[in-house]
Structure 1
Amino acid sequence: MFPGATTDREAASYVVVGAPLDATTTFQPGTRFGPDRVRRFAETYDDYDPRTESRFSALGVHDAGDVRPWDDVPAYLDHLAAELRSVAYDDAVPLLVGGEHTVTYAGVETVDPDVLVVCDAHLDLREAYDGNPWNHACVTRRCLDDLGVDRAVIVGARTGSEAEWNRAADADVEVVAPEDAREWLDALGDGSAGDADDRPFAADESVYCSVDIDGLDPAYAPGTGTMEPFGLDPREVRDLVRAVAPRADGFDVVEVNDRDDGQAAALAGKLLREFAHSHASAVAEGRTGGSE
């Protein structure tokens, strides 16, 4: 169980769902261990959050456990989306813990956002990888082309194929390079009402937030499948999550594996908590956006 996620399912405002899919990892496998590892390395975190003056255990979080995968990725994603829809139908926010980045497809299908905000080292805009359109290198492309997401904002991207960079030049994709992330975050604001007119989302746009842990520099999160140097620092990703959370109807953190001493998992667990604290604070203050 994710520490502090003690609310009964029927009363929950947030539901943690583990998706330990590890089917298409292209370099270092191990994302099947991600959800359990994130739970383990979140055990030391204090319950109280001084910024929002709230306790994680009082936010109404439930841990529904893992949705165990099998080798038919499209069928698994359909099943995972059905599990997540049961969360959304109960007016709770799904907090998905991967697993490889492909599981984001199920979260986006559930929430049906206008905008997908992704923290990622990779563009993930391939039509297929080694002939497989369900490879984790294709997930943002699948969300745009197959699920009808209006726009994807990829923060921290610093690598991709030539075809991916060409796709990223289309009007429905915005790429924020690591060196431009702080300026973009400053424009995004902190999620407060006074920033609403300046943020790069329309007032009526709904958002899904996905954090691929490899968006961070591997110095901070080496426990991931495909490390890419020159990435984001933890505070930048924390601030992204804090700012996007009030607008978001769903969240995931993915691509954590067991190839480090817990750095990536510790960050993932903290980011999940940051999302929940920030979203709950916005709900309490009546400043959520999008479809809320």
Structure 2
Amino acid sequence: MTKHNGTNDVALMGIPLDTHSSYLQGPAFGPARIREALINGAANLTAEDGTDLGTETRWKDSGDLEVFEMRGAAAIDKIYEGTKERLDNGLRLLSLGGDHSVANPVIQAHADHYEGLNVLHIDAHPDLYDTQDIGHFGHGCPFARLMETGKVKRLVQVGIRTLNKHQREQAERFGVEITDMRSWHSDWTVKFDGPVYMSLDLDALDPAFAPGVSHFEPGGLSTREVLGLINRFEGRLIGADIVELNPHRDPYGMTAMVAAKFVKDIAARLLRTA
């Protein structure tokens, strides 16, 4: 992977930020660990559909945004501007967090770039809090901030298993479509009309498959089920993020390898629609 911007290229963008985490720091080191897992020699760069990122000339790395240890509106604004610049240069982005707060400005930039944007959010948590002790930009708030803009056509959440009263009320307020784990079945899918952005929090997976996260939420998805979600939904994928890898809690780099696996399949899907 080389650092380069070009029309219709698909590129990684690292967002090393975890100052909006409510419980543990560590996700700021996620982008580096996922990149290491991609090229560590234990696996090749081929996605399951046969796309080889090692030989694909449209697959790039646009580097990291310089947001480490930033916080609040200054961090959000810098992430928005960095995302917008890359989108304006013709890139399709696969962003690596970082805590989930980074999704708010990244998706807002996509919503400004793609009219009628839909969002598929895969997570254990709905992240619809109005605020947290760490403020309105906490990693439990990004989808509340996003839906307040009125720029997202449709928000579909799957994998949820922590929906409390406040967030249920928020979901009703914003018209969020939620499939929680009690209602999940292995052939679940969804159809979108228009461009789709995917936001994937690694704690959507059961901790047995992805222990390297800050918030363990038993009863989640398997790696294979998430791969099915990535490849099965109907709609035109135009961007995505993978967030909340915490290397401090990741034995033997297991979760980083899961994230790298998702990178390959998401990148392959983005390349098919570039």
Same fold (TM over 0.5): yes
The residue that corresponds to 2:51 in the other structure is 54
For residues 241-256 of structure 1, what are the structure 2 equivalents within 5 Å? 241-244=230-233, 247-256=236-245
For the residue of structure 1 that corresponds to 2:184, the secondary structure is helix
Kindly indicate whether residue 206 of structure 2 is the aligned counterpart of residue 209 of structure 1. no
Q: Distance in 2 between matches of 1:182 and 1:56?
A: 31
2-structure distance, mates of 1:246, 1:126:
28
Q: 1:10 to 1:131 in 2, by over 3 A?
A: closer
SS of 1:265's partner is: helix
Aligned mates of 2:19, 2:58 — CA distance in 1: 32
In structure 2, do the counterparts of structure 1 residues 280 and 10 end up closer, same or farther at CA, with 3 Å as the change threshold? closer
Instruction: Give, in whole Å, the separation in 2 of the partners of 1:160 and 1:63.
Output: 36
What secondary structure is seen at the aligned counterpart in 2 of 1:48?
Answer: coil
Q: Which residue of 2 aligns with 1:174?
A: 177
In the alignment, is the contact (CA less than 8 A) between 2:239 and 2:270 conserved in 1? no
Matched, 1:6 2:5: no
Alignment of 1:101-250 (within 5 A): 101-112=100-111, 114-130=117-133, 132-146=135-149, 148-170=151-173, 172-182=175-185, 185-188=187-190, 199=191, 201-202=192-193, 205-244=194-233, 247-250=236-239
Partner of 1:268: 259
Cα offset, 1:35, TM superposition: 0.5
Which residue is equivalent to 1:288? none
Q: Is the 8 A contact 1:221 1:267 kept in 2?
A: yes
CA contact (8 A) 1:6 1:60 kept: no
**Structure 1 pair 163–6 and aligned structure 2 pair: CA distance change class (3 A):** same
- Could you tell me how far apart the structure 1 residues matched to 2:172 and 2:130 are? 15
Given that 1:7 and 1:61 are in contact with CA atoms closer than 8 Å, whether structure 2 keeps it comes out as no
1:84 correspondence with 2:80: no
Shift of 1:246: 5.5
TM-score of the aligned structures, taking structure 2 as reference length: 0.88
Change (3 A) 1:60 1:246: farther
Q: Which of 134-143 and 264-273 deviates more?
A: 264-273
Alignment match of 1:40 (pick from 36, 42, 62): 36
SS in 1 for 2:96: strand
Contact 2:22–2:134 (Cα < 8 Å) also in 1: no
Whole-Å separation in 2 of the counterparts to 1:151 and 1:133 = 22
Instruction: Please give the secondary structure, in 2, of the residue aligned with 1:208.
Output: strand
Q: Which has the higher helix share?
A: 1
Contact kept? 1:209, 1:245, Cα under 8 Å: no
Q: Secondary structure of the equivalent of 1:241?
A: helix
Report if the CA contact (8 A) 2:20-2:71 is conserved.
no
The residue type equivalent to 1:268 in the other structure is A
Normalised to the residue count of structure 1, the TM-score between the two structures is 0.83
Which ranges of structure 2 fall in alignment gaps of 5 or more residues? none
- Cross-structure match for 1:280: 271
Equivalents in 1 of 2:223, 2:170: separation in Å?
Answer: 28
In 2, distance between residues paired with 1:228 and 1:186?
Answer: 21
**Identity between Structure 1 and Structure 2 (%):** 28
Determine if contact 2:6/2:91 at 8 Å carries over to the other structure: no
**Going by fraction, where is strand more abundant, 1 or 2?**
2
Query: 2:70 corresponds to which residue?
Result: 71
Measured in 1, the distance between the counterparts of 2:46 and 2:119 equals 30
